Amino acid sequence: DIQMTQSPSTLSASAGDRVTITCRASQGIGTWLAWYQHKPGKAPKLLIYKASNLASGVPSRFSGSGSGTEFTLTISSLQPDDFATYYCQQYERYSTFGPGTKVDI
């Protein structure tokens, strides 16, 4: 099975900050990686697919990069609405989510 790790597990930041979250896969997954945003009581939201493609309606301050086993999600200027938990997901073989990164104040 492919295992996913994320760092950091928690990130304290302020509005306007540049934020980077790292995701690592236990084996190479090409670019079959997605990023999701999840807020309590809400449906998870797809942000990035195929490592670097912005999903429909997602603001351009979100970007993704990487391939193989190491990936990053960057928020160029954190907005109040961005405080949430972020998950990476590999979908090269079935699906596995990372443990999540909580972005708070």
Partner 1 sequence: EVQLLESGGDLVQPGGSLRLSCAASGFTFSNYAMSWVRQSPGKGLEWVSSIWGNGYSSYYTDSVKGRFTISRDNSQNTLYLQMSSLSADDTAMYYCARSQLASPTRNAFDIWGLGTLVTVSS
Q: Which residues bind partner 1 (CB under 8 A)?
A: 1, 32, 34, 36, 38, 41-46, 49-50, 55-56, 85, 87, 89, 91-100
Report in angstroms how near the CB of residue 31 gets to partner 1 at its nearest: 10
What is the rounded distance in angstroms from the CA atom of residue 56 to the CA atom of residue 71? 20
Q: How far is the CB of 6 from partner 1 (least distance, A)?
A: 9
CB of 11 to partner 1, least distance (A): 15
